[in-house]
Structures are given as C-alpha cells and as structure tokens.
Amino acid sequence: MIDIKNVSKSFGTKKAVDDIRFQVPSGSITGFIGPNGAGKTTTIHMMTGALGIDQGEILLNGIDIAKDPIQAKREFGLVPDSPDLFLRLSAREYINFMADIYQIDQSLRNQRIGQLAKDFQIESDLDQPLSSFSHGMRQKAIIIGALVCDPNIWILDEPMTGLDPESAFLLKEKMKEHAQKG
C-alpha cells in the first residue's frame, strides 16, 4: 500500500505539490493524469526518496520513506520517465546491478532474467551496451531491471513511452498479474 498524507513540495516560490493525500491499496493499479507541471513526476520522486518532502508523510507498505529510506526503497521497483541511465553498462549488467541491490539469489535472478528477456524479446541483445539501444529497447531493459526484483510496489513513470505495442501489452499483462498477487 502507498499512503500519501498531506504532502507538499515547493521549488522556491513555486508550489509543485500542494497538500495531496491519497492511498493506493495493495493489488491496485493507479495512474496519475494531469497536464505538464501538475506535480506528477515530483510526487513520484518524493515517493522514491529522490526528492525530499517539505511537509507530510509518504508510507510504502507502512514504511516512512523519509524516516527509513533504505527499508522503504526495498519495497518498490522503479521505471523512471527516462531510460537514459547507466548507458555504459550492457543490459545484462544493468539488470544484474538492480538484482544485486535487491539481493536476489543468483539462480532465481538468472531464471527471471532469462524469462523476462524472452518475454520482452531482447535475449540476443542482453550483452550490448544500453547506449547502442533505441529508446524502446532501453525502456525494455529498465523494465526488466525493475521486474527481476519482484518488488511489492511498482512505480512506473510513463513506462509505455517508446515501447512497441507487443511490449506495451506484455507490460500491461504483467501489471495485472502483479495486482492480482496483491
């Protein structure tokens, strides 16, 4: 469950997020909809601990992101709005890096990487540097990096951007499966 309690964030005199509050129960899929500048990405950055909170509280499965950031970060997997991260790494190195952070057992990780790479059709590209990938291919690698960890909470910031229709459908199906697990 994600619990946002009276959260605000300002940048100088501009109030990017103003006293928002909502809950996302376990097993639900929730999206933020609004115009550019509405505070969607700022809220996601606060949920992940990438930005501090000026006021309020964010709990991820009961863990306060501000008070216990390491434990809270173990609760979620993140697909950021830009897949242009760690471009010097190969897709496999990036995915293994994510699995290392979450301390995923080597045999389980290899099994998950193999299946996800097959599902997203990047098996033959796993050892290529992310810098050589198209935007959509990078997005697939970043998604696999999040899913290989099997997090309790998925935080996806515009995950469909650049994905081919088949991969977008596959991601939607995986989201449904995850939501059903609760």
Q: Does domain 74-182 have CATH number 3.30.70.360?
A: no
Starting at the edge strand found earlier in the chain, the sheet holding 14-24 runs 14-24, 2-11, 55-60, 63-64
CATH fold match for the domains 1-69 and 74-182: yes
pLDDT tens digits for range 72-118: 999 999 988 888 889 999 999 999 999 999 999 999 999 999 999 99
Q: What is the pTM of this model?
A: 0.86
Confirm if 77 and 155 have CB atoms less than 8 A apart: yes
Domain spans of the chain, in order of start = 1-69, 74-182
Q: Does domain 1-69 have CATH number 3.40.50.300?
A: yes
| Predicted local distance difference test score (pLDDT) of residue 133 | 95
